[in-house]
A and B are shown apart, each in its own frame.
Chain A
Amino acid sequence: DVKVTQSSRYLVKRTGEKVFLECVQDMDHENMFWYRQDPGLGLRLIYFSYDVKMKEKGDIPEGYSVSREKKERFSLILESASTNQTSMYLCASQNDRGNSPLHFGNGTRLTVT
């Protein structure tokens, strides 16, 4: 089974802090994704990557950046956390482009105070 591991289940950060959310997958998947999930809004794509050192903006990239230095690891960075970034963050991986399912981690619940 594919395993996608997010380093933290819960995080509490202060406004203005730089925040790193880490994600690792163990199936040698090319594609990795970061989503946020909010009540009433569903899953919204922040950034994705189809290869090492490659990144593409999703639907809501503002306030975020990403890093993919190794194939198995995809990091989400909040340069200066704000309260409206309080959310559930979900990482996913996929083994090719668009015709196979995404496999998700269990999420990181981030609270920005």
Chain B
Amino acid sequence: GESVGLHLPTLSVQEGDNSIINCAYSNSASDYFIWYKQESGKGPQFIIDIRSNMDKRQGQRVTVLLNKTVKHLSLQIAATQPGDSAVYFCAENINSGYSTLTFGKGTMLLVSP
């Protein structure tokens, strides 16, 4: 498999548990945030996004929480499944002109049956 998961913090959970993956972002001016999932041998896949005028956004089995006071973003996955095993990373954007996304290093989620 690919080596993207090396050197990453790892979260190990049992199937059916809820998972919480955290991300500290760097820039207080960032106003748009994204969570990506990357499975072994594949490119990053968009999961969910949130703008800075929101504190919480829900998708299918996933919830993103944004705490601007402490510059913290979290991804909650409900009823985690083995297929959720992957590297998850956040990205932030300062929406000014030609700004681009800045990506976090990622967290590896391992789900045991």
Contacts and interface: CB of A to CB of B under 8 A. Distances in A.
Contacts, number: 67
A45 interface: yes
Contacts of B69: none
A101 B6 CA distance: 25
Contacts of A97: 95, 97-99
A48 B102 CA distance: 13
B98 A103 contact: no
Contacts of B99: 97-98
Given A97-B98, A104-B43, A39 B49 contact: no
B100 interface: yes
Give the size range of A's interface with the partner.
20 to 34
A42 B95 contact: no
Interface residues of B, number: 31
A50 B98 contact: yes
A84 B36 CA distance: 26
Interface stretch (A61-69, A70-78, A105-113): A105-113
B6 to A, nearest CB: 4
A40 B100 contact: no
Nearest to A103: B46
B111 interface: no
A99 B103 contact: no
Interface of A: 4, 33, 37, 39-43, 45, 48, 50, 56, 58, 88, 90, 92, 97-107, 109
